[in-house]
Chain A
Amino acid sequence: MLTRKTSLILTAPAMALLGLLFLLPLGYSLVWAFRDEELGGWGLQNFIKAFGLYSRDILFTLIIVTLSTVIIGVLSIAISGYLTLGENRVAQAALRWMYRWPLFIPFVVAAQLMRTFLAKNGMMNNIIVSTGLMDQMHAVSYLDWRGIIITFVWKQTPFVALLLAGAMSSLDRSTIEAARNLGAHRFRILLEILVPQAATTLMVGLILSYVVMMSVLSVPLMINAQSPTMITVDMAWRINAYSDYGVANALGFISYAMTAVIAWIYLRQGVREGRRPA
């Protein structure tokens, strides 16, 4: 539909904005990642140091973010699936009213709320204890890796579900009705018809969530007291404690690499299948 020239013209404003306001300023600071202070030249010293000090944190970040992304995917498929295929109008309305609220809570506040909610003597355990399902002795704190995942899932599921529900609602209803008339179970319709057709949107939503979670500082900072912790905390630490932009930017590179590899695999996958993914 669009020629190569038109395509380039259409992307030009966005690229110009990104180039001038982001790539250029980033370039200034990025070169510091390859600076070797001790030798006074260029080198990979900062990357060696980053891996030496923070390899556990890098792995931890990868696991936390990947696990959260998977859970967010499952939950958002369930929510948007029920919003599209559910038969109980009341339940649908309740779900529609409810699921979006976390979207509007800023990360800083969400992290604070979760801190008082998930703690050992926090509100969640208090509620469960007062219903008699558990006694106080068995209350445990979730303020560790689990707390990070819970907060990420809480905050990002509505994001993906909102996108996915939108995509599912604009799909052609006739195939769904046909499958229904043939007696197909709703789970099968969801997994075999809806999800494949809305896969592009789902994947884009998940990749964007992945990117957001990689970059959030407040959640690991306020929730996770243990080590290992996430890369963003290390970046902030290198800058604030040592004014060490070299290692901080090297960690930024590593963080970007982890994102870009995932996004790249997804984009390649689409091309091989002859589709045009986002």
Chain B
Amino acid sequence: MTILRAAPVALLLALLAFAVLGPITNMLIWSVAETWYFPAKLPQSYGFSFWERVFRPQGNAMVSLWNSVVIALFTVLASMVVAVPAGLALGRGRLPWRSFFLLLFLLPQAFPSIAVHMNIARIFYGLGLNGTYVGVVLVHTIQGLVFSVWIATAAFAAVNRELEEAAANMGASPFTVFRTVTLPLALPGLMASAIFVFLISLDEFTGTFFVGVPDITTLPLLLFTASMEGNYQIASITALILLIPSVGFMLFIERFLKSDVLAKIGS
């Protein structure tokens, strides 16, 4: 009986593993492949020469990685500062033209990014923001704004109103209700949006070029050129390097979520 029930689950999991991990295995193999061409099904020789190329001292990979991570952290911070209040108002408040506002935030994704970034750069050159971290963080924040605002709005909209009313009836001030009931319940969504914003910032290329270069270089600027032209080894290594801060950030957020939120909900 248990075997009969476990078998389809195991089969589905195996299929999913093939679909998810297959391409990732491909990536792992390419990152250490030195020669791999037809008709070989696996690399003819392995080695770390491409890793050496990426991490050679004059390549500045470590500085760029550090830049990328710092910029991503501040982008998350900036996005949360603007998106949480906006999400609260759009999810719970009384706003005229609410749908219109939400639709506006979808705009940054739709248009050719080079045209928009060129104009952002023009404004930033005028303000002296080009080549500064603040400028790059602002550009990344804009890219992430659709995610942070929409997800925050959904998170606040989904909070059960009865729980808030119960707290208010017990004499809690509106801010206390927000801090002890609304925010903790919306937090899983906010955390998820923080992760997405972090990833968007970490992978951003065009905006960083227009606003950061030549003073600020991030890892995508250093390595995406190689990825775009089909250097599979460098592409794979880039993804593996970026995996470290991404997964690290997610685990950090999840631990934070477990300890802090659950404690608050329990109290």
Contact = CB atoms under 8 A, between A and B. Distances in A.
Contacts of B22: 117, 123-124, 127
Nearest to A172: B160
A256 B112 contact: no
A105 B27 contact: yes
10 contacts: A3-B94, A10-B93, A13-B86, A14-B149, A22-B107, A29-B116, A106-B220, A162-B192, A167-B158, A276-B157
Interface string A18-46: 10111111101110000000000000000
Nearest to B164: A1
Contact of A10 (B86, B157, B227): B86
B166 interface: no
Interface in B157-200: 157-158, 160, 164, 174, 185, 188-189, 191-192, 195-196, 199
B236 A109 contact: yes
B120 A104 contact: no
Contacts, number: 280
A74 to B, nearest CB: 13
A177 B123 CA distance: 57
Given A7-B89, A105-B239, A239-B112, A112 B230 contact: yes
B150 A10 contact: no
Q: Give the interface size bracket for A toward B.
A: 35 or more
A28 B116 CA distance: 8
A26 B112 CA distance: 10
Interface in A107-133: 107-110, 112-114, 116-117, 121, 123-124, 126-127, 130
Contacts of A130: 41
Given A11-B90, A105-B243, 10 more contacts: A18-B105, A29-B119, A98-B17, A106-B203, A154-B23, A166-B188, A251-B112, A252-B112, A255-B111, A278-B157
Nearest to B110: A256
Interface stretch (A52-60, A138-146, A207-215): A207-215
A108 B227 contact: yes
B26 A117 contact: yes
A218 interface: yes
A29 B118 CA distance: 9
Nearest to B111: A252
A118 to B, nearest CB: 9
Given A159-B196, A170-B188, A256-B111, A25 B116 contact: yes
B88 interface: yes
A66 interface: no
B89 A10 contact: yes
B20 A98 contact: yes
B16 A22 contact: no
B110 A215 contact: yes
B24 A25 contact: no
A230 interface: no
Given A13-B81, A18-B104, A117-B23, A1 B109 contact: no
A166 B107 CA distance: 26
Contact of B92 (A2, A15, A112): A2
B38 interface: yes
Interface of B: 6, 9-10, 13, 16-27, 30, 38, 41, 81-83, 85-86, 88-96, 98-99, 101-120, 122-123, 138-139, 141-142, 145-147, 149-151, 153-155, 157-158, 160, 164, 174, 185, 188-189, 191-192, 195-196, 199, 202-203, 220, 224, 227-228, 230, 232, 235-236, 238-239, 242-243, 246-247, 250
A102 B217 CA distance: 25
Contact of B110 (A23, A208, A214): A214
Nearest to B30: A116
Contacts of A249: 111-112, 115
A113 B195 CA distance: 23
Interface of A: 1-4, 6-11, 13-15, 17-18, 20-26, 28-30, 88, 91, 94-95, 98-110, 112-114, 116-117, 121, 123-124, 126-127, 130, 154, 159, 162-163, 166-167, 169-170, 172, 198, 200-201, 204, 207-208, 211-212, 214-215, 218, 235-236, 239, 245, 248-249, 251-252, 255-256, 259-260, 263-264, 267-268, 271, 276-278
Q: Which of A245, A248, A260 has the most CB of B within 10 A?
A: A260
B116 A4 contact: no
A216 to B, nearest CB: 9
A135 B230 CA distance: 28
B90 A112 contact: no
A139 to B, nearest CB: 12
B111 A26 contact: yes
